[in-house]
């Protein structure tokens, strides 16, 4: 096996009593997590978990892995087993999250072929191996966005993935396309907290059970952030309901209990939840704090590197791990020789490559490159689409460029002349580096194909929208307002006061719009709450995406599309208005947004 540089590791010795070397079928501890069993053994209090009858929704073996492929390859099973079996002496879980199409290797990306080879390396050393992904694989850069994730199922299958959870951006092409992709995956795609309104049935398979080489069972269930209703185009999740808060916790507990009742030695939550303040009360830590019996949670969504523990409802510590994003790291949970360790394999520390997967990724990349290789301009400056600090918590030069582009294109094509332009920072997905700018660069920045439009709002509605969209600032928010033709200030020393919850959203309206946000001017004139403003924006925001519910109210009356999509504004502005060269004015930010911090 190739040399692996350990970037971060945590030793969880509390779990050893039940997972490695314990007596098979210890019925006194069934229904408890490994940490809770260890706590009981040491005299600490740990509440047991009730074990209901197994539900008919339990994972089936329809997408089972082929046991004949390797003597040590994990295989699927749905057979109920009342007694648990200790884990094999050599067992590893590899995990990834928020890959977003970053499948080709680079200085800061391992690439999918490295993931495949790392799994092969462990198998060759006699390990049982499970390879899991926590969501957001279908949408991202143009390698997957160009054909709506069409190549992803075959690529992940060849790489050896065993299971994945749905992420919010899996819905970006619409629920119908997602359902097609789910049918194309040969391994389970999990989500236990989303139901179809018309039938009341789950949108996806809730959980899956894997049987390891010695008969031990590992149960995995998926949870998806309820903010998906507003972080993807709202129309994409119409007709679906997402369990949140206490209902989400009850759903998670039901999954844990069901998997324990079927004899699982290890119960894992594959969550696309995150730890951002805007994700409360549905964060990974919230789920842990309100459940018992969970061994660990593999998280995603907020693109963080995480390796920490949180106390569950019985006081036992539960490990929560996350690898960052874009295959910058591969997570490795190892169960071996009396210890459980979580490590990260970082880009640049491992050079293993699976030749077949590399060939498939290169072929997919070539198709995209040929279609999007057109050079549309150049820049002498890096245009920052960084996440934080960046487009989700402050003004950046890329955001200035993009909002100016939208305002220019809409003013030249709309029936209603806009006063200003507004984009959500989360819609700007990457930076543009110094040098030539290709069509692919622009598509990578704005990959969603959102429609450009105008919406007429009152000054009061605009102020409410900005107050709501900065409620967690200085923490990052996908809805952070990036603007052209507007100047405003956010005073983060003033607490955000929640009003009523927005419909079909996990966000709350501001109780006092204007308490944190001051808008100085719109369209070159002083701001007036009673005025009516025409705003150039995207249909994502006009439908109430992120925190912009009041825009949806306005758009129901006066929405006008102009026939262009997001990235076309960047292209035509750069080519036709700027002559193909990004000017010096975009070398730095233009003081449109001021954030006052403590």
Q: How high is the pLDDT of residue 25?
A: 34
Picking from 77-81, 348-352, 365-369, 436-440, which range would have the lowest pLDDT averaged per residue? 77-81
36 confidence band (pLDDT: 50, 70, 90): low
For domain 376-596, give the CATH number. Answer: 3.90.780.10
User: Mean per-residue pLDDT for 488-495?
Assistant: 97
Pairs from 201-208 (Cβ < 8 Å, separation ≥ 24): 202/57, 203/175, 203/240, 204/166, 205/59, 205/60, 206/57, 206/59, 206/255, 207/57, 207/58, 207/59, 207/255, 207/258, 207/259, 208/59, 208/63, 208/76, 208/163
Give whichever of 139-143, 163-167, 411-415 has the largest mean pLDDT: 163-167
Q: What is this structure's pTM?
A: 0.75
Q: How high is the pLDDT of residue 372?
A: 92
Q: How high is the pLDDT of residue 339?
A: 64
pLDDT tens for residues 223-238? 999 999 988 888 899 9
- Express as a percent the part of the chain with pLDDT over 90: 77
DSSP string for 321-339: EEE-STTSEEEEEEEETTE
User: Mean per-residue pLDDT for 423-442?
Assistant: 96
User: Mean per-residue pLDDT for 552-570?
Assistant: 89
Q: How high is the pLDDT of residue 43?
A: 37
pLDDT for residue 122 is more than 60: yes
Q: How high is the pLDDT of residue 276?
A: 84
Q: How high is the pLDDT of residue 37?
A: 59
pLDDT tens for residues 251-285? 999 999 999 999 999 999 999 999 988 889 999 99
CA-based R_g, the chain, Å: 25
User: Mean per-residue pLDDT for 75-98?
Assistant: 76
DSSP string for 375-432: EEEEESS-B---IIIIITTS--HHHHHHHHHHHHHHHTT-SSPPSEEEEEGGG--S-B
User: Mean per-residue pLDDT for 87-114?
Assistant: 96
pLDDT tens for residues 186-233? 999 999 999 999 999 999 999 999 999 999 999 999 999 999 998 888
Mean pLDDT of the chain: 87
User: Mean per-residue pLDDT for 416-425?
Assistant: 96
- Domain 6-26+71-366 is classified in which CATH homologous superfamily? Metallo-dependent phosphatases (3.60.21.10)
302 confidence band (pLDDT: 50, 70, 90): very high
Residues 6+ apart with CB under 8 A from 6: 343, 344
Domain ranges of the chain: 6-26+71-366, 376-596
Q: Which of 310, 283, 315 is nearest to 299 (CA)?
A: 283
529: tokens are 């709450």
Q: How high is the pLDDT of residue 232?
A: 87
Q: How high is the pLDDT of residue 509?
A: 96
344 confidence band (pLDDT: 50, 70, 90): very high
Burial of 71 (0-12, 13-18, 19+ CB in 10 A): exposed
* Bigger pLDDT: 423 vs 231: 423
Give whichever of 13-17, 67-71, 264-268, 369-373 has the largest mean pLDDT: 264-268
pLDDT for residue 68 is more than 80: no
């Amino acid at each position: 096996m190739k040399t692996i540089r350990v970037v971060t590791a945590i030793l969880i010795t509390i779990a050893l009593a039940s997972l490695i070397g314990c007596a098979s079928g210890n019925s006194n501890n069934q229904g408890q997590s490994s940490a809770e069993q260890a706590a009981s053994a040491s005299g600490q209090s740990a509440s047991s978990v009730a074990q209901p009858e197994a539900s008919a929704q339990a994972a089936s073996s329809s997408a089972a892995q082929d046991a004949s492929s390797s003597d040590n390859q994990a295989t699927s099973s749905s057979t109920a087993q009342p007694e648990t079996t200790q884990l094999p002496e050599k067992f590893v879980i590899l995990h990834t999250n928020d890959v977003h199409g970053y499948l080709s290797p680079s200085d800061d990306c391992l690439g999918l072929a490295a993931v495949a080879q790392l799994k092969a390396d462990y198998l060759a050393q006699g390990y049982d191996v499970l390879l899991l992904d926590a969501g957001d694989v279908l949408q991202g850069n143009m390698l997957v966005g160009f054909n709506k994730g069409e190549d992803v199922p075959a690529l992940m299958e060849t790489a050896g993935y065993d299971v994945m959870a749905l992420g919010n951006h899996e819905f970006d092409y619409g629920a119908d396309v997602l359902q097609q992709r789910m049918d194309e995956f040969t391994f389970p795609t999990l989500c236990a907290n989303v139901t179809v309104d018309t039938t009341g049935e789950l949108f996806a398979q809730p959980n899956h059970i894997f049987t390891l080489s010695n008969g031990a069972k590992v149960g995995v269930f998926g949870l998806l952030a309820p903010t998906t209703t507003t972080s993807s185009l709202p129309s994409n999740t119409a007709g679906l309901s997402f369990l949140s808060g206490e209902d989400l916790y009850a759903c998670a507990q039901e999954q844990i209990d069901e998997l324990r009742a079927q004899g699982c030695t290890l119960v894992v939550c594959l969550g696309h939840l995150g730890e951002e303040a805007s994700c409360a009360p549905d964060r990974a830590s919230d789920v842990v704090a309100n459940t018992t019996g969970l061994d660990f949670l593999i998280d995603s969504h907020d693109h963080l590197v995480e390796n920490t523990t949180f106390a569950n409802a019985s006081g036992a510590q539960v490990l929560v791990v996350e690898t960052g994003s874009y295959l910058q790291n591969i997570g490795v949970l190892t169960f071996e020789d009396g210890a459980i360790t979580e490590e990260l394999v970082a880009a640049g520390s491992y050079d293993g490559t699976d030749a077949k997967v590399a060939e498939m990724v290169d072929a997919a990349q070539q198709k995209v490159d040929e279609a999007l290789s057109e050079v549309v301009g150049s820049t002498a400056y890096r245009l920052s689409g960084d996440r934080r600090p960046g487009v989700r918590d402050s003004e950046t030069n890329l955001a200035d460029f993009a909002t100016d582009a939208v305002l220019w294109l809409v003013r030249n094509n709309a029936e209603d002349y806009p006063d200003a332009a507004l984009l959500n920072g989360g819609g700007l997905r990457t930076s543009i580096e110094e040098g030539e700018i290709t069509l692919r660069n622009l598509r990578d920045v704005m990959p969603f194909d959102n429609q450009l439009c105008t919406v007429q709002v009152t000054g009061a509605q605009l102020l409410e929208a900005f107050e709501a969209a900065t409620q967690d600032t200085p923490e990052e928010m996908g809805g952070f307002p990036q603007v052209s033709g507007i100047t405003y200030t956010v005073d983060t020393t003033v607490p955000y006061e929640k009003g009523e919850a927005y419909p079909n959203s996990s966000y709350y309206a501001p109780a006092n719009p204007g308490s944190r946000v001051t808008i100085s001017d719109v369209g070159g004139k002083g701001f007036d709450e009673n005025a009516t403003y025409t705003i150039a924006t995207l249909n994502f925001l006009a439908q109430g995406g992120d925190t912009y519910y009041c825009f949806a109210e306005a758009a129901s009356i006066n929405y006008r599309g102009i026939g262009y999509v997001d990235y076309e504004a960047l292209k035509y502005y750069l080519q036709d208005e700027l002559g193909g060269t990004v000017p010096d004015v975009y070398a730095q930010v233009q003081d449109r947004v001021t954030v006052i911090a403590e």
